[in-house]
Copies of this chain bind each other. A is one copy, B any other.
């Protein structure tokens, strides 16, 4: 259930309730692709970092350890020891970006595993079955994600197939949720809007999927080759056609500035590997920009990563120590940097929500969007 508490222009301050709890939106989902956060960050750590909802990956978990294994272990929540909300993406994006020897047919996609080359078929029903086995709170529809730019006619045909797939996803999810043995009978389904960089295809596809009255609407196929301006333009055009009373999720985006701009355009959910990936290279997020702890100038710097940050890392460790850990290949370095960056993202959302609550999000955007955009 999604409740809009307040709006400011197109931006919304909401509350989303699913089987494992209530999420305050706008929200950033913390990415644990294989059922674990990178950098040895545990589910317990996630709580300390203010994470509200974790995101795992259907494709990865299907390949390893296998969704049947996760199901037998009681579902993903129990498996990874995280009792809060979980969203699983459908595997569509990874099938197109990671696997090899892909063949797209009406029934689904034939591809080879990126781990062992094993031949796998995944269609809408298979994706729903896998996600049902994982028992996430939110399942994502199985879609095709085209790279940008792709030819108009290709994208048009792909969108139409993705809509047909969505009907099959919805039917299969309803069937699975009604089985007495299902892991999470309250599993929800979010649709995914596609259409590349073509306004008319985006809008037509959103209209088509809106008719299915699903639990949420994602915008996929952005941040895959196009410029930031094009991404914002697509959001301007398509978001007004997403159902007002359902959460909207911009998949795989993005920088802090991207997130502020997308909230401004009416988006509620986000996810991105940027905070974890940057952390592992020693690139730390602060409101003043990226701090690269590999830099020699931090060798004797006893200040925390960010002097204004309240995260568990900044409360306890210095730049000099973390730099030492990164330089000497100690895993603890990656853990501390990932923790800081995830906290930064979760805290960014806290600040965005606070600004919305207090009716000053336009001002917040004015103050931070361009500044952070230049810095990060």
Contacts and interface: CB of A to CB of B under 8 A. Distances in A.
Given A36-B330, A69-B320, A80-B321, 19 more contacts: A34-B324, A34-B330, A35-B324, A35-B325, A36-B332, A38-B330, A40-B40, A40-B331, A40-B335, A42-B335, A64-B324, A64-B327, A65-B328, A69-B300, A72-B302, A73-B321, A79-B324, A81-B321, A335-B335
A349 B34 CA distance: 36
Interface of A: 34-44, 60, 64-65, 69, 72-74, 79-81, 299-300, 302, 316-318, 320-321, 323-325, 327-328, 330-336
Given A73-B321, A321-B79, A334 B40 contact: yes
Contact of A324 (B65, B72, B316, B324): B65
B41 A332 contact: yes
Given A69-B320, A302-B74, A318-B79, A332 B64 contact: no
Count chain B CB atoms within 10 A of each CB in A36, A299, A325, A334 and give the residue with the most.
A36
B34 A328 contact: yes
20 contacts: A34-B324, A36-B328, A36-B332, A37-B332, A38-B330, A38-B331, A40-B40, A40-B331, A40-B334, A40-B335, A43-B316, A60-B328, A64-B327, A65-B324, A65-B328, A69-B299, A72-B302, A73-B318, A81-B316, A81-B317
A105 to B, nearest CB: 29
A72 B331 CA distance: 24
B64 A300 contact: no
Given A40-B39, A316-B81, A73 B300 contact: yes
B318 A36 contact: no
Contact of A39 (B34, B331, B336): B331
Contacts of A336: 42
Nearest to A68: B300
Count chain B CB atoms within 10 A of each CB in A44, A79, A317, A328 and give the residue with the most.
A328
A331 B37 CA distance: 9
Contact of A331 (B73, B328, B335): B335
Top-4 shortest CB links A-B: A40-B40, A40-B331, A40-B335, A65-B324
Count chain B CB atoms within 10 A of each CB in A327, A330, A336 and give the residue with the most.
A330
Given A73-B320, A299-B69, A317-B81, A328 B64 contact: yes
B79 A320 contact: yes
